[in-house]
Amino acid sequence: MSVAENFRAIRAKLNDKIILVAVTKNHGVELMREAIDAGAKNIGENRVQEAAEKFQNLNREVTRHLIGHLQTNKVKQAVKLFDLIESVDSQHLAAALDKAAAQFGKVQDVLIQVNLAREVQKSGVLPEDLDALINFVDDAKNLRLRGLMMIAPNFSEVEQCRPLFRQMRKLFDELKTSRKDFDFLSMGMTHDYEIAVEEGANVVRLGTAIFGERSLTNGNYRQV
Ligand SMILES: *Cc1c(COP(=O)(O)O)cnc(C)c1O
């Protein structure tokens, strides 16, 4: 199946209210265009530098999501390039983003990434530090908190993700009752998005399901 066919087949399966982010990391700009031509309205990249190159000639109406870990030395570029930064996970980063957004006269939409499964190799704020980070982002004049993001562990049995997704949904719903503009619960990737959607995700981030496996020969972009 082609990228367009993959995209349309997945889009057709998902409720209209669910945002499908086509994750183009490691793939060339041609495939990004194919997805956009097939109707993709949201594009996800996980590295600022790679996105800067690929977005250069992309004068299309798409919403750009940063889904990868962001270093503070890249915040200016990130604020310039992305509509939604999904990976805010520390006060240090939030402070740097707020400052950069102020310089651009922009209110930057962000999600807070939660490391619910406490995986040491993954970024994301630990659950016990979430409230403090939310308060910090609330006080940052140039940031607008739009919701939460989570990456589930790569369990051998995918059903093991379900309790984590459910817990995130609960957290999200609780926070949402007292907040405005708190709209997005981003969870679910190729291997687990169906479960994520069942548990209330309204943003899913799909790479492999749309573009096929990422490998060293995909485009010019190497995974390290
Ligand atoms: C790469 C990536 C995805 C997409 O992963 P697939 O398994 O290819 O769908 C989603 N979210 C994040 C944060 C990623 O880095």
Q: List pLDDT tens digits, range 106-159.
A: 999 999 999 999 999 899 999 999 999 999 999 999 999 999 999 999 999 999
Alpha-helical regions (H) of the chain: 3-13, 29-37, 48-55, 75-81, 91-104, 130-139, 162-177, 193-198, 208-211
- Measure the CA–CA gap between 64 and 81, rounded to whole angstroms: 7
- Which amino acid residue places its CA nearest to atom 10 of ligand 1? 205
Cα-flanking dihedrals φ and ψ of residue 19, to 5°? -85, 125
* 140: its two tokens: 């940052």
Name which residue sits closest to atom 7 of ligand 1, judged by CA: 190
Asked if residue 223 has pLDDT above 70, the reply is no
What's the rounded Cα separation, in Å, for the pair 161 and 57?
A: 38
Residue 176 CA to ligand 1 centre (angstroms): 25
List, in order of start, the domains of the chain with CATH numbers.
3-214 (3.20.20.10)
Instruction: State pLDDT tens for residues 196-205.
Output: 999 999 999 9
Q: How many residues does the chain have?
A: 224
For 106, the token pair is: 């922009």
> In percent, how much of the chain has pLDDT > 90?
92
For a ligand 1 pocket test, name from 67, 112, 150, 224 the mutation site with the most ligand atoms within 8 angstroms of its C-beta: 67
Q: Which residues pair with 108 in a beta bridge?
A: 143
Q: List ligand 1's pocket residues with C-beta within 6 A.
A: 23, 25, 46, 67-68, 151, 189-190, 205-209
For residue 45, what are the CA distances in angstroms to 64, 121, 153, 217? 8, 20, 20, 18
Best CA proximity match to 103, nearest among 75, 139, 136, 84: 75
Render pLDDT for 48-107 as a digit per residue (tens, 0 to 9): 999 999 999 787 789 999 999 999 999 999 999 999 999 999 999 999 999 999 999 999
| Residue 125 near residue 115, CB atoms below 8 Å | yes
